[in-house]
Chain A
Amino acid sequence: MKKKPTKSMPDSNEANFDAELFQAMLLKGWLLPLTEDEVAITDRAIEKEIAGTHLGIPNPLELLRANREKKKTASPRVDFHNEQAEQNLAWAARNGKEIPPEVREKMRKDRERAETEGDDE
């Protein structure tokens, strides 16, 4: 009779070995402690180590500020009803060159037409 396939699970010896290995890794400080007991065990082991550890990362308020700035950059929100913003974008699209009066007039008419069509819907 064909043997029924079974899910590969470690036997109890293997599981015990894994648990001991895991404990040793925690004691070595190789793993992040995730429970109160683990913190207690690793805290004693790393007291000396902590004294010399400093990564020199920015001050905390700067970190929050930078994160806020990053969010702004990641999802820019432009108010397209703001005439100044629209003008700036149009200028930017022309590499900063001045927009000729006839083009500006055409843009104004296009915008009015678009707004009228939008209102009709």
Chain B
Amino acid sequence: MSLPEGTQPEAFVCETDEDLLAYMAMQGEDRLGAEQAFAEFYRRHERYLSSRCRVHRGILGEDGVSTLVQDTFLRVYQKAHTYRPKQPACDYAPRRVKAWMGKIAANIFLSQLRRNSSPEELPDDLDTKEYKSAFQRSPADENLPLSARMKLFLAALDTLSEKERDVLIVSAEWCRLGQEYQRLPDDISQKLSAKYQSTPEAIRQTRKRAKDKVKAFVESRENEK
């Protein structure tokens, strides 16, 4: 990415991500400073966010991914004042900022899927809402090698078709936002069924089939041993 001449945000290169968000939060008082802080934030995270959002290109298409990235950055700028740094400042602050961006992107992703049939505003609390994670590892476990069973799961995912993968991804993103054990809403199922020239009911069956496929793969390999 290259910025136009005269807009290189040199004044902000030494600031932390959390400081940049604090500058952005002051856009009412100092718009120029807030925009330069945003430019630096964007420079640091554009590749990261693009790579994360590209996992949804199967569903959104390349243009949709680009829109998702841009909308997420815009939302970061608009909602910078809602970011809550951990006190006292910790070594994990950059991860905290990325996690916050992830929540915004995940919400916008689902909102994009629902846009055609339910054009509603994003909820105000999306950036501060707590999410539970299925990851039970502590930071101390980070460098431990993957278990044999987890390696089988990873191999099993490679056997899924594009359609199965997309349905599983959308379902997982939906469940994480507090919708656990609930079916995909009709508008999202319809969007997926339109893409795959299928029916909403068939999409729900695809989700079940994908999970069964992974389970069978893992169990059969474990039984071989």
What's the minimum C-beta distance from B81 to chain A, rounded to whole angstroms? Answer: 16
User: In the complex, what residues of B have CB within 8 A of residue A9's CB?
Assistant: 181
Cβ-defined contact, A31 with B173, below 8 A: yes
Bound Cα distance from A89 to B39, whole angstroms = 39
B163 at the interface (CB under 8 A from A): no
User: In the complex, what residues of B have CB within 8 A of residue A50's CB?
Assistant: 47-48, 51
Bound Cα distance from A25 to B165, whole angstroms = 10
Question: For chain B, what secondary structure do more than half of its interface residues adopt (helix, strand, loop), or is it mixed?
Answer: helix
User: In the complex, what residues of A have CB within 8 A of residue B172's CB?
Assistant: 22, 25, 30-31
Total chain B interface residues with beta-carbon distance under 8 A: 64
1/0 per residue, CB under 8 A from B, across A14-56: the answer is 0001111111111111111111111111111010011101110
A61 at the interface (CB under 8 A from B): yes
By size class, the interface of chain A is 35 or more
User: In the complex, what residues of B have CB within 8 A of residue A33's CB?
Assistant: 52, 98-99, 102
On whether A61 and B4 interact (CB within 8 A), knowing A8-B181, A27-B150, the answer reads: yes
Bound Cα distance from A71 to B47, whole angstroms = 27
Bound Cα distance from A38 to B50, whole angstroms = 17
Cβ-defined contact, A61 with B153, below 8 A: no
User: In the complex, what residues of A have CB within 8 A of residue B176's CB?
Assistant: 31, 34
Cβ-defined contact, A61 with B7, below 8 A: yes
User: In the complex, what residues of B have CB within 8 A of residue A54's CB?
Assistant: 1, 46-47, 50
Cβ-defined contact, B74 with A30, below 8 A: no
B13 at the interface (CB under 8 A from A): no
Cβ-defined contact, A24 with B153, below 8 A: yes
Other-chain contact of B131, A20, A21, A34, A49 (Cβ < 8 Å): A34
On whether A61 and B35 interact (CB within 8 A), knowing A21-B214, A53-B47, the answer reads: yes
A residues contacting B by CB (< 8 A) are 8-10, 17-44, 46, 49-51, 53-55, 57-61, 63-64, 67
The 3 A-B residue pairs whose C-beta atoms are closest, nearest first, are A24-B153, A60-B42, A53-B51
18 contacts between A and B (CB under 8 A): A20-B150, A21-B168, A23-B150, A24-B156, A30-B168, A32-B52, A32-B105, A32-B106, A36-B92, A39-B95, A40-B95, A42-B52, A50-B47, A57-B70, A59-B2, A60-B73, A61-B7, A61-B39
